[in-house]
């Protein structure tokens, strides 16, 4: 007897998207507290939302969501011909000379604009013409989702993460697509870039589909104002 994968109802798919968005939000909070290993789980969850691995349509398409995504990456100036890390900023320390931090909309000189998903997903955000490097958000998410960083993740999120991925088995572990063979500086750049990609995705949904976050963020206390 043929074993067919059970088809989810539209409501089940919608609930699954909500769970993934909540997980990404929790994972970014943990990352910002120093749990660097969360970046791989962010990438896996992002990919579960926007990727179309089997040609049947991404989760967003199955639900019928067609929205523009926030792009907070500067445009590359080919005339300057300088390397560009568009969504991760170089911030070396005495302990880590290859340290990068996510942009997160902190530079008012870099426009925060809405673009189509295809433009957002396939825009080159890391460019080094001298090295022949042109990397998109899609490239970053694919590579980081296949990489287990040698740093910590937040244990309390393990069960939630495993449940989400079990619900929608992704099965794409591919060492060749990971960061293991990438230069240390490029790997650090892509890990920080993943945090920024999560920032853009969450901002997109918080503004255009706020109902997914109802009850997630604590209500402001009026007595504090």
Give residue-wise pLDDT tens across range 44-103: 999 999 988 777 889 999 999 999 999 999 999 888 888 888 999 988 777 777 788 999
10-32 helix and 184-208 helix, angle to the nearest 10 degrees? 130
* Residue 224 covered by a domain: no
* Residue 103 covered by a domain: yes
* Residue 156 covered by a domain: yes
The token duo for 45 is 């969850």
Contacts (Cβ under 8 Å, ≥6 apart) of 190: 88, 126, 135, 140, 143, 144, 179, 182
pLDDT at position 219 is 64
Please, what sign has the CA dihedral across residues 63, 67, 70, 75? positive
**Dihedrals phi, psi of 69, to nearest 5 degrees:** -110, 150
Beta strands 84-85 and 124-128 are antiparallel
Q: Domain containing 85: what range?
A: 10-214
Question: What mean pLDDT value characterizes the chain?
Answer: 82
* Residue 221 covered by a domain: no
CA-to-CA separations, 97 to 32, 91, 116, 167, 188, in angstroms, rounded = 19, 8, 36, 39, 10
Alpha-carbon distance 213 to 217, whole Å?
7
CA-to-CA separations, 14 to 61, 96, 168, 212, 213, in angstroms, rounded = 11, 41, 13, 9, 13
Q: Which segments in the chain show pLDDT lower than 50? A: 1-4, 169-176, 181, 225
* Residue 143 covered by a domain: yes
pLDDT at position 132 is 87
* Residue 114 covered by a domain: yes
Residues 57-68 as b/e (b if ≥16 CB within 10 A, e otherwise) read ebbbebbebeee
pTM of the predicted model, to two decimals? 0.84
Number of domains present in the structure of the chain: 1
* Residue 183 covered by a domain: yes
* Residue 53 covered by a domain: yes
pLDDT at position 223 is 57
pLDDT at position 1 is 38
């Amino acid at each position: 007897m043929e074993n067919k994968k059970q088809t989810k109802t539209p409501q089940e798919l919608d609930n699954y998207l909500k769970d993934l968005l909540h997980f990404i939000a929790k994972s970014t909070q943990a990352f910002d507290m120093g749990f660097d290993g969360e970046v791989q789980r962010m990438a896996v969850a992002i990919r579960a939302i926007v990727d179309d691995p089997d040609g049947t349509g991404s989760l967003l398409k199955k639900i019928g969501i067609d929205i523009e995504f926030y792009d907070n990456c500067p445009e590359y100036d080919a005339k300057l011909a300088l390397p560009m890390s568009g969504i991760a900023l170089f911030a070396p320390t005495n302990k880590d000379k290859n340290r990068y931090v996510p942009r997160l909309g902190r530079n008012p000189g870099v426009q925060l604009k809405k673009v189509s998903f295809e433009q957002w997903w396939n825009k080159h955000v890391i460019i080094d013409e001298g090295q022949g490097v042109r990397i998109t958000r899609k490239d970053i998410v694919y590579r980081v989702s296949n990489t287990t960083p040698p740093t910590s993740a937040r244990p309390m999120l393990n069960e939630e993460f495993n449940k989400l991925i079990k619900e929608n088995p992704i099965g794409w572990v591919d060492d060749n697509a990971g960061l293991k063979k990438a230069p240390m500086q490029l790997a650090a750049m892509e890990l920080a870039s993943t945090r920024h990609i999560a920032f853009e995705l969450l901002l997109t949904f918080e503004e255009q589909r706020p109902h997914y976050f109802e009850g997630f963020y604590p209500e402001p206390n009026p007595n504090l104002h």
